[in-house]
Each structure stands twice: as C-alpha cells, then as structure tokens.
Amino acid sequence: MFPDASYFTDAYGLLITRSAELSPIAQSFIRNMNRVRGLGQLPLSLVYSTTLNESARVEALVKKGLSIDDPRLFTGDQFDATLFAEIEAEKGRLIEEWKKALGFSDRRLRNCINSVNQALDVHKDLAWEGVQATLSAMLMGLWTAFEVLAEDTWIVAVNNRPDPLAKRILESAKDLGTGTQIKSISWPEIAGQGFDLRTSMGTVLVRQRAVDFKELKAIRKAYKIAFNEAFESIFEKYMVELGRLEALRNLYAHKGGIVDEKFIRRMEGDSEYKDLKTSLSVWINGGYVAAKANAVCASCTELISAVDNWLVENPATNDAASDS
C-alpha cells in the first residue's frame, strides 16, 4: 500500500485567511503538507518518468532499426553524437505524441503504481527498510505541520489580542501544566521586544515557557485557557487521531520505531496496531499515512479558520492593540 500514502486530500491548498497576520502561517502549512505528499510521490514520479523515457527510447530505436545496446549511443570510442541526437529527438516527439492521447497519464500512472507494488513485493528484503523510512518520515512531517501551525497561530493571536488572551494565560498559568509560572518577565526579554510588550505577549509567553506546544495535551490547554474553551470541539473531534500520530512521531524520534509499553497504551483501540508487542519494530502502510494526513489537514484547517474568525469578530478595542 505504499503508493496510497500520497493520495490524501488536497483541500488544504485552498486555505485562505481573512486576517493578514495568519496568511503566512496558512501558506507555510500548505508548503509543509506538499512536502509530505512529495515524499510519497517521489518513487512514483521517478518510475513514471523512467518508464516513459525508456519506452520512448526503445520505440525510437526500433523505428531506426537499432539495437538497444548499440555502442554508437553510449559514451566511448564508437559514440555517434549525430545518431544519439536523432534518437533523442524522436524520443521526445513520441512522448509528446503519447501525452495527447486521451487518458494517457492516468493509464501510465496506474502502470507505474503496479510496477512499484510488484517490485516491492518481489524485493521485500531490499525495499522494506526504505519504504518504512519514507512512510515514517511522512508521519513525522505531518506532526510537524500540525505542531507548527498550532503554535504559530496561537502566538499571532495572542500577540494581536493580548487582552483577553494573554491576560487569561497569566491568570491561569498554574493550570497549563508546564511547571512554569510567570511572576515577572525577564529583562532580556523586555529589551528584546523593544521595551514594548503590547504586540508580543504571545511570543514572550512561549519563550518564557509559560505555554508548551511540544505535546498535544499542552497545545490543547494553551488554546482552552486563552480562548476560554471556544475551540474545544475542534480538539475533541481530532484528539484520538492526533494523539496516535503524536505517539508514532515520538516512537520514531525517541525509540527508533521500537515498540514500548507507553506506545501500546497510546495506540489502544487502533485496528492497525491491535497486536503490538514490546521490543519489536512498528510497521506502517500507505493507507494509514494518508488517513493521518487527512486528519491533520482537517484539524489544522478548522483550527486556523476558527482563530481567524475569532480575530475578525473580536477586533482590538484599545489604542495599543490597534497600533498592532
């Protein structure tokens, strides 16, 4: 199922925000998701271009009555630059002609997917590690895309609406579970913000570690407190899927993919991982990656859109915030 990994929704490409401050975050999310998709599509793209190129080359040689190993077409004493150029020109002409045929690209892509699957099936011993490395990298990229969007969106919102967002965080620091309660802001932090914290409280709170965006539960708490539970329904909807993605990301980053008891507990209820055993390497399939990509796309799109709407519906009400 490796080819299935890159076949997830592309709806994130339409993500647009009304708040100018959130637009760069949305665009970064789109690029991050495209990179994840690109990892899965690279093998297919390589097979596609290689088979297309080789098919055209062989047909061009047949039309010229030449052997596929004619020495005049390879670097060496017998190399014939003119003949080589003729074959290349005919090859290019054939490819352009084929591309005009109705449904050609879809048929060729399906053939490539079949070729990849067959190759992986025949050469499991050679391909397994590479397949798993690629799929795990895609999952880690998905978690990064979510984590970065969640953190950057929160920072921008708090920077632009310190009252009430930063105020709520400062008043409820003990409930954030970070172990850090801000009683004062350090002098270097104040100086670093140009002695004006009116438009940088989100940045300061993250740097001072009053909030934490490295764990899903902490991310949820940061939003819950700052926005007075306004977006709890979004987190509730995707908490299970994002939690499993976080568990996989941590397993690969910290354990090299080797299952431990913590991972087994986190994946409870996941049909793909119902027979886990400790000390064994976890495996992934392409369809599972695509499902997690869809969850990240949906959750991130809903979250940034909800914050975007909140900012529009809750404009700055004081001169300091208006200046931002």
At 258-300, the pLDDT tens digits run 999 999 999 999 988 888 889 999 989 999 999 999 999 999 9
Write down the pLDDT at residue 182: 57
Other CB atoms within 10 A of residue 179 CB = 8
Classified as helix, coil or strand, 258 is strand
pLDDT at 229: 96
Whole-number Cα distances in Å, 300 to 65, 143, 162: 57, 11, 22
Residue 189 pLDDT: 54
d(CA 105, CA 111): 10
Question: Would residue 279 count as lying in a domain?
Answer: yes
Question: Which pLDDT belongs to residue 187?
Answer: 44
**Axis-axis angle for helices 124-160, 216-226 (nearest 10):** 20
* β-bridge mates for residue 258, sequence order: 281
Q: Is residue 273 part of a domain?
A: yes
In 3D, which of 222, 214, 223, 220 has the Cα closest to residue 253?
214
**Beta-sheet strands, E only, within the chain:** none
The reply to whether 322 falls in a domain is no
320 inside domain: no
In the predicted model, residues of the chain with pLDDT beneath 50 are 179, 187, 195, 319-324
φ, ψ of residue 281 to 5 degrees: the values are -80, 135
CA angle 300, 302, 308 (to 5 degrees): 100
- What is the predicted pLDDT for the residue at 122? 80
Supply the range of the domain harboring residue 96. 2-311
Instruction: Note the pTM of the prediction, 2 decimals.
Output: 0.83
C-beta of residue 308 within 8 angstroms of C-beta of residue 18: yes
Position 148 in a domain: yes
The reported pLDDT for the residue numbered 179 is 47
Q: Is residue 316 part of a domain?
A: no
- When divided into structural domains, the chain yields a total of 1
pLDDT at 43: 83
- Bridge partners for 281 per DSSP: 258
Assess if residue 146 is contained within a domain.
yes
Report whether 219 contacts 117 (CB < 8 A): no
Q: Which of 149, 146, 153, 144 is nearest to 202 (CA)?
A: 153
Residue 321 has what pLDDT?
43
324 within domain boundaries: no
281 DSSP assignment: B
